[in-house]
Amino acid sequence: MEIVILVSLLSLYCDFTDAECLVISPARLVVKYGDPASAKCTSDQLNKKLGWEATEGGVGLTDMEGTFLNWRVDSVNDWNIKPTCFTEGGQCKKQLDITVYKLPDSVSISYRTYPDPMVEKHHYQLQCLVQNIAPIERLRVTFYKVNTTGEQTELDTQQKSKDNIKTPENGAYTLDFTPSRDDDRAQLWCSAMLDLGPEGPQPPPVMESDRLNITVLYKPLITMSPGCFSMRITEGDTLSLNCSANGNPAPSYGWLLPQSAPAPNTTEERSVVTITNIAKSHSGEYTCIARNPPGNSTCTVNVEVTVDYLPIIAGLAAAAVVILLVVSCFIYSSYYKHTRMGHYQLKDRLPRRHKNKQVVHHNGMDQSFM
C-alpha cells in the first residue's frame, strides 16, 4: 500500500516537474507539412528505459537503458501529431511542442460587391481571400494602397482569433474602404504573412495578392483665375476670367453672366470669359458652373467696373487752361488796339507845311529859308 502511494506521488511530482524528469530538445519544433522532423528526449535519471509515443515515428521502450532517446520521421503527414516522451512505468511523460504549417495555395483581393466604378466618399468593402493555410491563427493579413506617385500606405492589419485549429483552412478578411479623389488610378492589394515565431522560418514567409487597379469618379473642383472673389476693374480695361476644373469624368462648363456680357469661349479643359474695353454695364456676378455625373461645383466672381476720373479731370484742366489763354489773348488784343487808336491821329502821320518857308533853287540844290 505504501509503495503504491509512493509511486503515485512520484508520478504526480514528475507531471508537474517534467524538467526534472525529462527534457526535450528543441523545446519547440516548427515543421512544414511533409518535411522530416526530429527531437531528442533526455532523462536525468540513470538506468531508466525511454520511449516515444506518436502517431508517426513512435518508439517503444528501449531494451538498452540510457539517458536519451531520439524521435524522427521522414515526413510529417499528421496535422495533430503529438509526440510524447515517457519513462518506464509511465512515471514521467513530456509532450513535444510541435507546430505543423502549410503556406497558402493562393492569396487574392476582390470587391465583395463590384462597383461600376467607385465614387468618392461612397463606402465599399474589399475582401482578401487566403486559401488552404495552416495554422490560420498564425496568419496576419495586411491591406495596402499605393497611389500614382508611388507612395505606399498600410490600410489595415488583421489576425484571426486563436481557435487552435491545426488543419488547413480558408481565411476571408474584409476591409471597409472609402475612396477620395486622390485614390483615382491607385492600386490595392493584400499580403498574407505566416508568423510562426522565432522557431519558424526567418524572415516569416509572405505571399501577396495581385494588385487591384481602381478608378474613382469625383465631382469637379474649380480653379478660377484670378479667383473666386470680388474684384474691381477700370472702365476701358480688359476683363479675362479663366475657369477650369479637375473632375472625373471631365466636366462640362456653363456660366451665369450679366445680360450685357459676351458668350464665353469654352474648350474641353477650360472656359474663358473675355471682355475688351469693359463698360460700366458689364458690372455684376460672373458664375462658372462645372458639371459631371458625380456632382456640380460653382465659382462666382463679383465684378465692379469703376470709372477713372483722373484723365477726365486732367482733360478738363487742360481745356480750362486753353480757354483761359484764348480769353487772355483776346482781352490783351482788344486793350492794345484801343490804346493805340486813342493817342494817334492821321494828321500826325502826314508831313507839316509852313507858310513862311521859301524854296530857292541854287546850283541845282534846294535850300529852304525861313
- CATH number for 106-214 (one of 2.60.40.10, 1.10.150.120, 3.50.50.60, 3.30.360.10): it is 2.60.40.10
Let me know: does 103 contact 120? Beta carbons within 8 Å.
Answer: no
| 117 CA to centre of own chain | 19
Q: What is the pLDDT of residue 319?
A: 75
Question: How much is the pLDDT for 334?
Answer: 74
Question: pLDDT averaged over the chain?
Answer: 83
Residue range 38-93, pLDDT digits in tens? 999 988 776 678 889 999 888 877 755 667 889 999 999 999 999 999 887 777 88
Note the pLDDT of residue 287: 94
Distant-in-sequence, close-in-space partners of 343: CB < 8 Å, separation ≥ 6: none
| Percentage of residues of the chain with pLDDT beyond 90 | 58
Q: How far apart are CA 126 and CA 12, in angstroms?
A: 53
CA-based Rg of the chain, rounded to a whole angstrom?
55
CATH number of this structure's domain 219-306: 2.60.40.10
Give the model's confidence band at 310: pLDDT under 50 very low, under 70 low, under 90 confident, else very high: low
| Whole-angstrom distance, CA of residue 200 vs CA of residue 198 | 5
Domain boundaries, the chain: 22-99, 106-214, 219-306
pLDDT at 18 over 80: no
pLDDT at 7 over 70: no
Amino acid at 64: M
What pLDDT, on the 0 to 100 scale, is given for residue 10?
Answer: 44
For the cut 70, the answer to whether the pLDDT of residue 369 exceeds it is no
| Residue 365 banded pLDDT, cuts 50, 70, 90 | very low
CA distance 277 to 228: 22
How many CB atoms lie under 10 A from the CB of residue 151?
10
Query: What are the pLDDT digits (tens) for 173-218?
Result: 999 999 999 999 999 999 999 999 999 999 999 999 999 999 999 9
Residue 114 has pLDDT above 80, yes or no: no
Q: Which residue has the higher pLDDT, 221 or 328?
A: 221
pLDDT reported for residue 237:
93
State mean pLDDT over 110-115. Answer: 83
The domain defined by 22-99 carries CATH number 2.60.40.1150: no
Domains 106-214 and 219-306 share a fold: yes
HSE value, Cβ hemisphere, 13 Å, CA-based, for 202: 3
- Dump pLDDT digits (tens) for 224-281: 888 888 899 999 999 999 999 999 999 999 999 998 888 888 887 889 999 999 999 9
Grid cell locating 166: 491545426
Question: In sequence order, which residues have a C-beta less than 8 Å from that of residue 210 and are 6 or more positions away?
Answer: 108, 109, 189
